[in-house]
Amino acid sequence: MEEVTELLTTPSGLIVSLIEVVNDAPGPEGLTTRFRFLAPDLAGVDFDLAAADMLHLCQSYALSQLPKIGPEASQIIISLSDRLVPFGEAAPEALQYFEAYRIENGECVWEMY
């Protein structure tokens, strides 16, 4: 897992940092790019606020990063975790939220995940 670097502030005031981008694991909708964020204070934010934060991260961060990553993804998954958890590993003690979005007309559109 990469070292955590850049800090971003979400609309709810939650401070997050990008842990890693995963684009070599297939998703349910084809080519999927996952943006995994560390949010140590996630427990202090209810799910509705976290969901709005994830949409914001998709719109304001993930979309701008896609051209730098490779082939265009058909789906973006944004995850927030209160601790570092290696991709694909279970961590029952971790608080984690995930949301999936399709890209439509340059926008992130929420999808049932």
Q: Among 96, 94, 93, 84, which Cα is nearest to 47's? A: 96
Q: Which amino acid is at 19?
A: I
Q: Where are the beta strands (DSSP E) in the chain?
A: 7-9, 15-22, 32-38, 75-81, 96-104, 107-111
* pLDDT per position as a tens digit, 22-67: 987 777 767 899 999 999 999 999 999 999 999 999 999 999 998 8
Q: Say which residue, 3 or 51, is predicted with more confidence.
A: 51
pTM of the model: 0.90
At 54, give phi and psi (nearest 5°): -65, -40
Fold assignment, 7-111: Diaminopimelate Epimerase; Chain A, domain 1 (3.10.310)
Neighbours of 21 (CB within 10 A): 16
Q: Where are the domains of the chain?
A: 7-111
* pLDDT per position as a tens digit, 83-111: 999 988 889 999 999 999 999 999 999 99
User: What is the reported pLDDT for 2?
Assistant: 47
